[in-house]
Amino acid sequence: MNRDFVFHNPTKIYFGRHSMLHLEDELQKYGPNVLLAYGGGSIKTNGIYDEVIKALNNTNKNIVEFSGIMPNPTLAKMKEGMELVRTNKIDLILAVGGGSVIDLAKGVSVSTYARGDAFERYWLKREEVDNEVVPVGAILTMTGTGSEMNGGSVITDEKRMIKVGRVFTSFAFPKFAILNPTYTYTVSHYQMCSGIFDAFSHMMEQYFSDFDNPVTDYVLESLMRALIDASDIAIKDHEDYEARSNIMWISTLALNTITGLGKTQDWEVHAIEHQISAFTNCAHGMGLAAISPAYYRYILPFGLPKFKRFAINVFNIDPRGKTDEDVAREGIDALDKYIIDHDMPNSLRKLGVERTLLSKIADSVSLGGGYKKLTREDVYAILFNAYENE
C-alpha cells in the first residue's frame, strides 16, 4: 500500500431476513418528524411500506411522504424534497428503495439548509458542505449502487442535460441501513441485472487504476469472482436466498470506500454513462454494460499488465502459449460474454441509443481517465465502438 488513506465508515448495517426488527430502535434516536422517501410505489404492493409505517407509528413519528422518486433522480425532485424538509422541520429522512432513492435522500440532506444554490456549489464547484445536514436512514430494496453505505449522490439537471455525481465524506453517509435480501425478490429481472452490473462496474473502476496494489486488488478480484458466481445462480432463480444475499453484500462492499483504498481509481466509464443516461434516461447499470467492453478494449494497451491479471484471476483465462495482449483481450471478451449471458446490452445500439446522439454525448462528458487521459475524440471513438459492438 504505497498511498496514504483515511478510512471511516459510520453507517451501521443490519443485514438479513430479520433486519427490519431493528428499525424501531433506530427511529427512537431521532426527533418526531420523519420524511419517508420512496419511488414509484412498488413498496406498497410488496408489503414493505406497511412494515415501515407500522414501525413509524409504533415510535410515534409524524410521517411526511415524499414519493415518486425516479430512477435517475432530478434536480427538480431534489428541490421538492428540500421544501418538504424545511416546511415540516424534518428530523430524519428515511429512504426506502434502491440507490436512486437513497442518492436523492442524501442530496436533500446536504442541500436543504445550504446558502445559495446547493447543486451549483456542491455538485458542480465541488465546494465543501458548510451547513446543517439532515440525518438519513436507508432500507434497501434493490442492490447495485452501494448508496446505502457511502456518501455518493448522483443528480440529473434535466434542463442542462447533465448528470453529476458528488461523493460527500462520512457526515453524509446513512446513519443506518437495513439490508434484507428478500426485499429484492420482487425487483424485475431487468433491474436485477442492471444492479448486478452496476456493482461489477464499481469494482472495475477501482481495479483498473493502478498496476499493482496487492491487498485491495486481491479483495476486488475475490468480490468480482463471487459476484459472477452469485449472479449465475440468481439469474436462473430470483429467490435463491444465498445468491441474492451474496449479491446484496457484494454490492455494498463494492462501493463502501474500502475497495478503493490506496488506489487512484478511474470512474471514466461512469462519467461517460452519466451523460448517456442524461440524454436517454436509460437504466444506469445497463448503460454501464453497453459502454464497458468498448472502453476497456480502448484503454487496454495502456494498462496491459492489469488487464492480463484480470483475465486470469477473474475470468480464469488460460495464459499458456499466448501473448500478454492475447490474454488481456480474452479477458475483455469474457466480460462481453458475461454481459450478454446475463441479459444485458453489450452495445449502445442494443441499449436503444440513437447514433445521432453520440457526438452530443461526447461533447458533454467531463474528461478524465486513469491509464489513458481521454480527449473528446477518444470519448467519441469509444462511443462509436460501443455503438457498433456486437
Pairing label, strands 152-157, 162-167:
antiparallel
371 CB contacts (<8 Å, ≥6 apart)? 208, 209, 266, 299, 302, 303, 306
DSSP-assigned states of every residue in 10-79: -PEEEESTTGGGGHHHHHTTS-SEEEEE-SSSHHHHSSHHHHHHHHHHHTTPEEEEE----SS-BHHHHH
pLDDT (0 to 100) of residue 390 = 77
H helices of 185-303, in order, are 189-207, 214-234, 241-254, 268-280, 284-299
Residue type, 106: K
- Who's near 211: CB < 8 A, 6+ residues apart? 303, 305, 306
Cα maximum dimension of the chain: 69
Region 170-179 average pLDDT? 97
- Give pLDDT tens digits for 317-372: 999 999 999 999 999 999 999 999 999 999 999 999 999 999 999 999 988 888 99
Cβ atoms 293, 386 nearer than 8 A: yes
Percent of the chain's residues with pLDDT above 70: 99
pLDDT at 1 over 70: no
The arrangement of strands across the sheet holding 33-37 comes to 12-15, 176-179, 136-140, 92-97, 33-37, 62-66
Is the pLDDT at 41 greater than 90? The verdict is no
pLDDT per position as a tens digit, 234-282: 999 999 999 999 999 999 999 999 999 988 999 999 999 999 999 999 9
CA angle 390, 298, 373 (to 5 degrees): 145
> What's the mean pLDDT in 218-224?
97
- Domain 188-388 of CATH type 1.20.58.2240: no
Domain regions of the chain by residue span: 12-183, 188-388
User: Mean of the per-residue pLDDT values for the chain?
Assistant: 96
What pLDDT, in 10s, does the model give residues 226-238?
A: 999 999 999 999 9
- Residue 40 is predicted with a pLDDT of 87
Q: What is the CATH number of domain 12-183?
A: 3.40.50.1970
Q: What is the mean pLDDT of residues 22-34?
A: 98
Is pTM beyond 0.85? Reply is: yes
% the chain with pLDDT above 90: 94
**Single-letter amino acid code for the residue at 216:** T
